């Protein structure tokens, strides 16, 4: 399973629980020129750097204190910021990384919305992206970190899907501070036990149809050779960080997980099930149903003459989850879908995920057909529970239910 890759390598230094880039790969594409720093209003810039004045002075960038006059040595400041070493304060590297990452027109747009929602007053009518990033960081660094995380949410290459076994999937609950703390606590216990530190953070991003969660966590520890200017090589120890993506679709009762390790997938499935919906097995790791026979056998998959108690089966509805940048989702409905396909010279396409199918099943002892809905991997909805044995016998005979053997 592949995950979203960040444009810059995160790290967690030994002396700090915070995240920042490793020195060997630290880049500030937006703050790397004196002209960009000059574009930040003097007083916010000095307040931003004030805690690090002794460190910067020792590296040739002697800054005036906030509220005083004096020249800012921009060229020396850029040189000091672009060449961190083992003595660089970890929180300075962290602050620079997050501010630099949001010092773009897109980042500025996101931060203006953050400031408005939080009631943060920004000084100045005409502000550069870097000025907005610095001011928001000074006022609410946690909010800037969250906005930065949201920039990295969009497009994992693949997901694994876990469907609830609940007959009526629940709406996505709000991620309250208590729920967030419980989620992060359980994740940190797992990551710490697996030698990945206790750096897990969970960010929620509700959308109209799907709630997205970004999970930031540590990776195994690394040590790299490094050297400060005019010094003998030494080593830098750090913990890379990774972003995994989890999404909950209440319409399907489905948890989507993009993570690398099976243990991480199991962790997210159980932790989100427990802390959001009340039980760790809310999303069971089971592939009970598949709709692939509709693709492989077409209407031959609907044959039920060999199943006692059933007269006929028709496909009334099929859902195609095409995915892609627009998250395309297609629903085909007809009195007889395969008959409609034949009339149009169409068949079940090869590529999309078959997300749901609704069948019309006519029991031999019933006056009217019943609706049966199958939602892979593990949900079947029957109109009459007592008719489910005959329906499941048909599903098993045609390969829709071929994971669990008959009792």
- pLDDT single digits (tens) 202-214: 988 888 878 889 8
Would you say residue 2 lies in a domain? no
- The total number of structural domains that make up the chain: 3
**Tally: H helices and E strands in the chain:** 13, 12
Q: Is residue 13 part of a domain?
A: no
Instruction: Check whether residue 255 and residue 357 sit in a common domain.
Output: no
**Cβ-contact 103, 109 below 8 angstroms:** no
Whether 28 and 81 map to the same domain: the answer is yes
Which domain covers residue 36, as residue numbers? 23-151
Q: Please, which pLDDT band fits residue 317 given cuts at 50, 70 and 90?
A: very high
Task: Please give the average per-residue pLDDT across 233-240, as a whole number.
Answer: 65
- Residue 101, pLDDT score: 82
Could you tell me if residue 7 is inside a domain? Answer: no
| Confidence at 185, pLDDT banded by 50, 70, 90 | very high
- Tell me if 14 is assigned to some domain: no
Query: Which pLDDT score is estimated for 106?
Result: 83
The verdict on 140 and 164 lying in the same domain is: no
For residues 235 and 305, membership in a common domain is answered with no
Residue owning tokens 């919906």: 277
Mean pLDDT within 104-121: 87
Half-sphere exposure of residue 77: CA atoms within 13 angstroms, side-chain side: 23
Helix axis angle, 129-139 to 42-49, nearest 10°? 50
Are 272 and 167 within one domain?
yes
Tell me, yes or no, whether 6 lies in a domain.
no
Q: Note the pTM of the prediction, 2 decimals.
A: 0.49
Q: Quick check: 220 and 196 in contact, CB under 8 A? A: yes
Per-residue pLDDT, 186: 96
Other CB atoms closer than 10 Å to residue 402's CB: what's the count? 16
Domain boundary among 277, 300, 321: 277
Q: 181 CB contacts (<8 Å, ≥6 apart)?
A: none
- Residues in CB range of 32: below 8 A, 6 or more apart: 78, 82
Most confident of 8-22, 114-128, 216-230, 391-405: 114-128
The answer on 201 and 147 residing in a single domain is no
Going by pLDDT thresholds of 50, 70 and 90, the confidence category of residue 379 is low
Residue 287 has pLDDT above 50, yes or no: yes
Average pLDDT, the chain: 80
Q: 85 with 29, same domain?
A: yes
Q: Are 243 and 202 in contact (CB under 8 A)?
A: no
343 and 241, same structural domain?
no
Same domain, 187 and 267: yes
135 and 205 co-located in one domain: no
Most trustworthy range by pLDDT among 32-36, 87-91, 173-177, 356-360: 356-360
């Amino acid at each position: 399973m592949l995950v979203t890759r960040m444009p810059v390598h995160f790290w967690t230094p030994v002396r700090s629980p915070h995240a920042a880039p490793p020195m060997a790969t630290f880049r500030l594409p937006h703050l790397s020129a004196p002209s960009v720093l000059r574009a930040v209003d003097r007083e916010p810039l000095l307040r931003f750097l004030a805690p690090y004045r002794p460190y910067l002075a020792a590296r040739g960038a002697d800054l005036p204190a906030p509220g005083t006059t004096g020249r800012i040595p921009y060229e020396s400041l850029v040189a000091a910021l672009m060449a961190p070493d083992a003595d660089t304060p970890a929180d300075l590297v962290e602050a620079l990384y997050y501010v630099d990452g949001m010092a773009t027109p897109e980042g500025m747009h996101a931060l203006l919305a953050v400031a408005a929602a939080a009631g943060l007053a920004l000084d100045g009518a005409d502000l550069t992206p870097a000025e907005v990033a610095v001011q928001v960081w000074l006022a609410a660094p946690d909010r800037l970190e969250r906005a930065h995380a949201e920039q990295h949410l969009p497009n994992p290459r693949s997901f694994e899907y876990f469907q609830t076994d609940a007959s009526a999937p629940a709406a996505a609950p709000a991620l309250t501070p208590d729920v967030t703390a419980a989620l992060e606590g359980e994740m940190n216990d797992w990551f710490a036990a697996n030698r990945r530190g206790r750096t897990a953070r969970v960010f929620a991003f509700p959308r109209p149809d799907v709630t997205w969660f970004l999970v930031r966590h540590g990776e195994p520890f690394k040590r790299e050779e490094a050297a400060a200017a005019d010094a003998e090589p030494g080593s830098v120890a750090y913990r890379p960080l990774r972003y995994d993506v989890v999404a909950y679709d209440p319409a399907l009762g489905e948890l989507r997980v993009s993570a690398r390790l099976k243990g991480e997938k199991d962790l997210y499935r159980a932790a989100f099930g427990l802390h959001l919906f009340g039980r760790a097995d809310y999303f069971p790791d089971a592939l009970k149903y598949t709709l692939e026979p509709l693709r492989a056998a077409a209407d031959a998959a609907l044959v039920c003459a060999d199943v006692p108690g059933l007269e006929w089966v028709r496909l009334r509805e099929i859902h195609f989850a095409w995915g892609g940048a627009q998250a395309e989702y297609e629903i085909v409905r007809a009195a007889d879908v395969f008959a409609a396909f034949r009339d149009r010279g169409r068949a079940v396409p090869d590529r999309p995920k078959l997300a749901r199918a609704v069948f019309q099943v006519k029991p031999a002892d019933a006056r009217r057909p019943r609706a049966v809905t199958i939602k892979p991997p593990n949900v079947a909805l029957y109109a009459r529970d007592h008719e489910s044995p005959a329906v499941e016998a048909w599903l098993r005979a045609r390969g829709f239910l071929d994971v669990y053997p008959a009792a």
